[in-house]
């Protein structure tokens, strides 16, 4: 059995917050894979389902973020789970919006939900870090994570959540690499290399225009051939006249 935990705050007021992306991820998994309806249990909302022979329990703590560990610890004790059976989905300031990384163990980096879970079950659980970006200054962090995603962020958020739904079975099977591949196919699909697809990197190849051939210089005009001289008139003089003309 695996326990997938999504972090967030309960209530409609917080449902669209960046801090609630963990809740959104679990809602996507439940909807995509036909999990049982949500019900109240372990100070949270619970839904159960299966990927093949692996049972997976989805848990959204309703203790508010800074006491999330209470709900997680209670569920672990009930199902007799170990820390490495737990995967926590949470918002991550240190990742660019739409990025996703899987990590096991480590610190909580000031995240109140992770801090609470650390105090109840230790640090050796798996995390799915969901990038929401950073507001730029630590004094703005609280307001930023408790504000709703902007309309301009809807596209990447939808791609990320759908990718999580696509790869959930692989994550439950312990294959983080295949899970990440499934997410990447949604968030960064490969570009087509085919011609004529109309996508970056493809496109219809434009015919190469023939380079204009330099005009050849006109051949120099040849002077006209001289007209043939007319044949001389026949000499009709007598021999005596020719001799007389010679001495004139």
Domain extent, residue 170, equals: 2-187
pLDDT of residue 39: 98
pLDDT of residue 200: 40
Q: What is the pTM of this model?
A: 0.77
Residue 50 resides in a domain:
yes
Query: Quick one: what percent of the chain has pLDDT higher than 70?
Result: 77
Which residue is catalytic, options 19, 33, 111, 137? Answer: 19
Residue 236 resides in a domain:
no
Q: What is the number of structural domains in the chain?
A: 1
Residue 219 resides in a domain:
no
pLDDT tens digits for 86-100? 999 999 999 999 999
118 among known catalytic residues: no
Give the single-character DSSP code of 148.
B
Residue 137 resides in a domain:
yes
CATH number of the domain that residue 166 is part of: 3.40.50.1470
pLDDT tens digits for 18-36? 999 999 999 999 999 999 9
- Phi, psi angle pair for 25, to nearest 5°: -60, -45
Arithmetic mean of pLDDT, 110-135 = 97
Residues β-bridged to residue 60 = 45
Burial class (CB in 10 A: 0-12, 13-18, 19+), 243: exposed
Arithmetic mean of pLDDT, 120-143 = 96
Is pLDDT above 70 for 209?
Answer: no
pLDDT of residue 243: 61
Is pLDDT larger for residue 89 or for residue 228? 89
């Amino acid at each position: 059995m695996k326990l997938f935990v999504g972090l967030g705050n309960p209530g409609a007021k917080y449902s669209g917050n960046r801090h609630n992306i963990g809740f959104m991820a679990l809602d996507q998994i439940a909807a995509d894979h036909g999990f049982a309806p949500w019900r109240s249990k372990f100070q949270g909302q619970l839904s159960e389902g299966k990927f093949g022979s692996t049972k997976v329990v989805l848990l959204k703590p309703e203790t508010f973020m800074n006491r999330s560990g209470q709900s997680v610890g209670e569920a672990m004790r009930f199902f007799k789970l170990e820390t490495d059976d737990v995967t926590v989905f949470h918002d991550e300031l240190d990742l660019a919006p739409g990025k996703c990384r899987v990590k096991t163990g480590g610190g909580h980096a000031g995240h109140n939900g992770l801090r609470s879970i650390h105090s109840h079950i230790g640090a050796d659980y798996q995390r799915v870090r969901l990038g929401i970006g950073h507001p730029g200054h630590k004094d703005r962090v609280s307001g930023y994570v408790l504000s709703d995603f902007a309309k301009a962020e809807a596209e990447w958020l939808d791609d990320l959540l759908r990718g999580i739904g696509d790869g959930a079975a692989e994550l439950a099977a312990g294959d983080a690499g295949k899970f990440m591949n499934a997410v990447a196919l949604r968030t960064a699909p490969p570009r087509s290399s085919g011609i004529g697809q109309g996508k970056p990197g493809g496109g219809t190849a434009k015919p190469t225009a023939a380079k204009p051939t330099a005009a050849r210089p006109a051949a120099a005009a040849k002077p006209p051939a001289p007209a043939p001289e007319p044949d001389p008139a026949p000499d009709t003089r007598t021999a005596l006249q020719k001799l007389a003309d010679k001495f004139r």
